[in-house]
Amino acid sequence: MRLRSIYTDRIASRLMVIMLIAILCMPLVIAAGLFYKASPLLSSSSLWELIAGSAWAPTRGVFGFRPFIAGSLYVTLFAFLFASPVCLLAALYLTQFARARLVKILHPVIDILAGLPSVIYGVWGILVVVPLISFLAEDWFGVQTTGYSILAGGVVLAVMCIPYMLNMLIEVFRTVPAGLKEAALSVGATHWETVKHIVIRKSLPGIFSAFGLSIAKAFGETIAVMMVVGNSIGFSLNPLQPGYPLPALIANNYGEMLSIPMYDAALMFAALLLLVIILVINLVFRFIIYRTQLR
């Protein structure tokens, strides 16, 4: 009986550690798989040509990803500009000002927002954001546009990022020791002054990381952005113009990629690029969070 439980333990422990290692190796396997598919493209043109080139002609075998990378960055920038002030203020309210009863009402709201699928955000974008932008652009600037634009992508992406960023910020503000706040209050600071000088200053690295991780998340978001951003090649600085982010490029062209030579390699290269960028951002900012938590 005793022997049997020792043997079960050995076998089960082996299996468990194998599962864990397999899961941790997943990013490497994914990167290797994508690299393998992208390698024909990498051997025919240099990495720099691919990233910095702006010509896009799949039928001629010319692939320059610059407009797509720029489109992704631009949409992400708008999303960040819209989402970060809202999240910062809301997180401060929920952790510093609000009564427990209000927090209890708002927490499920954040959870549901975080759980809504991206298609739903995309549908909402098409129903509300796109027509609104089209209307306002004509009303305020006299510009005729369909509304399918970088700006619409940024707004939808911002709303999608809010629950994610907010949850991290709440976590960050919660770790500020109560003693520090009490010290500030006891020397006569008002509530807001305590928040401004103690809470925010103490959590700066955490805020910084939460922003970074949200940017990484926004960068890889696909369906919702693709539904409202217009998807036309060619980059312009005008946010009312349509754009074409990197994830949308992959999702939009999977149908035809097997019929044109090198096209599949190019799309897999795009996925690899996305993976590497996002993984690096994640590793860096998560590291900052862990460092501050350990201290």
- Nearest approach, Cβ of 267 to another protein (angstroms)? 7
Does residue 78 contact residue 155 with C-beta atoms inside 8 Å? yes
Q: Which of residues 231-290 bind another protein (CB under 8 A)?
A: 247, 250-251, 254, 267-268, 271, 274-275, 278-279, 281-283, 286-287, 290
Tokens found for residue 235: 């980059």
What distance in Å separates the CA atoms of residue 243 and residue 229, rounded to the nearest whole number? 6
DSSP string, 144-164: ---S-SHHHHHHHHHHHHHHH
What distance in Å separates the CA atoms of residue 267 and residue 85, rounded to the nearest whole number? 35
- Nearest approach, Cβ of 116 to another protein (angstroms)? 6
Taken as a whole, the chain contains a residue count of 295
Tokens found for residue 127: 């129903």
Q: Which of 81, 119, 183, 233 binds another protein (CB under 8 A)?
A: 119
- Nearest approach, Cβ of 237 to another protein (angstroms)? 25
Compute CA distances 232 → 15, 39, 99, 150, 192, whole Å. Answer: 49, 27, 48, 11, 46
106 binds another protein (CB under 8 A): yes
**Residue number with CB closer to another protein (236 or 286):** 286
Amino acid sitting at position 197: H
Q: Which of residues 19-38 bind another protein (CB under 8 A)?
A: 19-20, 22-24, 26-27, 30, 33-34, 36-37
Closest CA to 164 of 209, 200, 128, 124: 209
Q: Which of 42, 58, 73, 93 binds another protein (CB under 8 A)?
A: 93
Q: Which of 56, 78, 211, 219 binds another protein (CB under 8 A)?
A: 219
- Nearest approach, Cβ of 291 to another protein (angstroms)? 10
Q: Which of residues 138-167 bind another protein (CB under 8 A)?
A: 159, 162-163, 166
Amino acid sitting at position 87: C
What distance in Å separates the CA atoms of residue 144 and residue 206, rounded to the nearest whole number? 42
Stretch that binds another protein, among 47-55, 74-82, 97-105, 143-151 (CB under 8 A): 97-105
Q: Which of 43, 59, 101, 115 binds another protein (CB under 8 A)?
A: 115
Beta bridge partners of 230: 243
81 binds another protein (CB under 8 A): no
What distance in Å separates the CA atoms of residue 289 and residue 137, rounded to the nearest whole number? 41
Does residue 176 contact residue 198 with C-beta atoms inside 8 Å? yes
- Nearest approach, Cβ of 200 to another protein (angstroms)? 11
Q: Which of residues 175-194 bind another protein (CB under 8 A)?
A: 190-193
Q: Which of 62, 110, 136, 288 binds another protein (CB under 8 A)?
A: 110
Q: Which of residues 120-139 bind another protein (CB under 8 A)?
A: 120-124, 126-128
**Residue number with CB closer to another protein (156 or 240):** 156
What distance in Å separates the CA atoms of residue 72 and residue 274, rounded to the nearest whole number? 10
Q: How many binding residues for another protein (CB under 8 A)?
A: 91
42 binds another protein (CB under 8 A): no
